[in-house]
Structure 1
Amino acid sequence: MFQKVPARALTDTVAEQLLEKIDSGALARGDKLPTEAVLSEEFGVSRTVIREAIARLRHEGVVESRQGSGVFVTEQAGIRPLRIDYTDTATLESVLQIVELRRAIEAEVAAQAARGRSDASMVAIDAALARIDAEEAAGGDGVAADVAFHRAIAQATGNPYFLKTLAFLSQYLETATRVTRTNEARRADFSRQVREEHQAIVAAIRAGDPLAARNAAQTHMYNAARRLSQGSQPDPAPGLADAPARGPVH
């Protein structure tokens, strides 16, 4: 009559409640956690679930095991690593929300690249852009080349945290990127728009124009979200494929 509760859900619940206790100060830094047996009884779950929940918190640096002493809240427990659960990205809405986040970052990345790009970084960006066409011409989906292109722009900023943040977000957008790339290959208007948007970003960076680079990157990400949303729709009627992409509504 009832659906079984996945073990992962139990683990998530235990981990979240332990985190709440730590965040509230009920379990302060340096405090020892109750034993597995005690936690198992209080939560009403198996010791296996408790071990998995604690292992997750240990992986995130929230708790640490001390041989022969038990598990303790770490001194850096208040510092949380950024984490997005893959189950949270299973819907189109959630993917589009991550694209929104990436849009804000990509816009600033492009602007900073325009301010600080060197001749060497410009060569790398040009080469990365050329690789997208080469990969597609060879029958590939262009996803790896597309990621490398945006990474080359981030490298041009000289800020390693831009690289780390984009790499973090990209792993949750890989499936969406493949979907949009497939749509772009199927629809000539999509493919052309992407190429022109990339070229506009590169031209603005080359010109050393931060405002134009920011606007070009924002437009590209707005349109990427639009293409993702429209990808499942039928191909446009003859003549409409050549219509210019509509810009974002401000």
Structure 2
Amino acid sequence: MRQEADRLSDRLAQRLARQITTGALQPGARLPTEQQLAQTHGISRTVVREAVHQLKSLSLVVSRQGSGVYVATAPAHQPLVFDPRVLGSVEAVVHVVEVRRVLEGEIAALAAERATRSQIAGMRRQLKAIDLAVAEGRDGVAEDLGFHRLIGEATGNPQFRLLLGFLEQYLREGMRITRGNEARRLDFMQAVQLEHRAVVDAIAARDPAAARRCAVDHILHGEQRLVEGGVIAGRRKKTSQPPSQGRPP
């Protein structure tokens, strides 16, 4: 199952990252081969490749063609690493929501200023991909992450793309908890897509303030849906209503 593979790759990436940052794996050391890691940890080579990709995104390892994967020389700055062992907790879900609220509001505002027509068209196509995933009985998490990634790319700032790519591995679990709740209530999924469309409409209208507001509202309402579904305890008063057109009662 894809979700389980994601969790396994997260765990392996964290385990290897910890060995690198603590010095158990020294700069210049060669990582075991894909096959060796797969056998040692009882996982597939696909999972190993995904874990190594995460380490590369953190600049912890580098590939040498025909030779293998090696621990990178000590970086000038300590890489940002979250511990996925705690991200399945309720408290961690709330913390990640708070990070998203701050980050994605500004990303949406910048996208409203800089997105090209083709990028906006891509966002609308991604919304259809989310609809299709839900119609086919899938949770749509990958498609949802892809939607937010497109908004990040539309800022034209590669650092946002890198940061969102890094955060994705830690957002998945929180999104699955949310989506598992949403799957039990059709109005939740309808509201999510209305909120997504409001963000895209604001970006297309070149309205940074509206894009920021819609993106922040989307994250806030996601937290409220967790509260209403009993996944987390209420932490704040109910947020303002999302865009009214077509909003389920």
TM range, normalised to the smaller chain?
A: 0.5 to 0.7
Cα deviation digits, residues 132-153 of structure 1 (max 9, x gap) = 0011111211111101111111
Contact 1:102–1:169 (CA<8 Å) still a contact in 2?
no
Corresponding residue SS for 2:183? helix
Q: What are the equivalent positions in structure 2 for 1:1-250 lying under 5 Å apart?
A: 53-55=22-24, 58=27, 76-77=75-76, 79-232=77-230, 246-247=239-240
Counterpart CA distance in 2 for 1:246 and 1:193 is: 14
Cα deviation digits, residues 207-237 of structure 1 (max 9, x gap) = 000000000000001111222333336xxxx
Q: CA deviation at 1:178?
A: 1.4
Could you list the runs of 5+ residues in structure 1 that have no partner in the other structure? 1-11, 16-48, 63-73, 234-244
The size of the alignment, in residue pairs, is 178
Q: Which runs of 4+ in 1 moved over 3 A?
A: 56-62, 74-77
Counterpart CA distance in 2 for 1:89 and 1:120 is: 35
TM-score normalized by the length of structure 2:
0.64
Counterpart CA distance in 1 for 2:220 and 2:25 is: 35
Cα deviation digits, residues 183-216 of structure 1 (max 9, x gap) = 1121122112111111110110010000000000
TM-score normalized by the length of structure 1:
0.64
Counterpart CA distance in 1 for 2:75 and 2:85 is: 27
Contact 2:224–2:239 (CA<8 Å) still a contact in 1?
no
- Structure exhibiting the larger radius of gyration computed from Cα positions: 1
Cα deviation digits, residues 145-178 of structure 1 (max 9, x gap) = 1011111111111111111111212211212211
Contact 1:110–1:205 (CA<8 Å) still a contact in 2?
yes
Counterpart CA distance in 2 for 1:158 and 1:52 is: 31
Could you list the runs of 5+ residues in structure 2 that have no partner in the other structure? 1-14, 28-54, 61-72, 232-237, 242-249
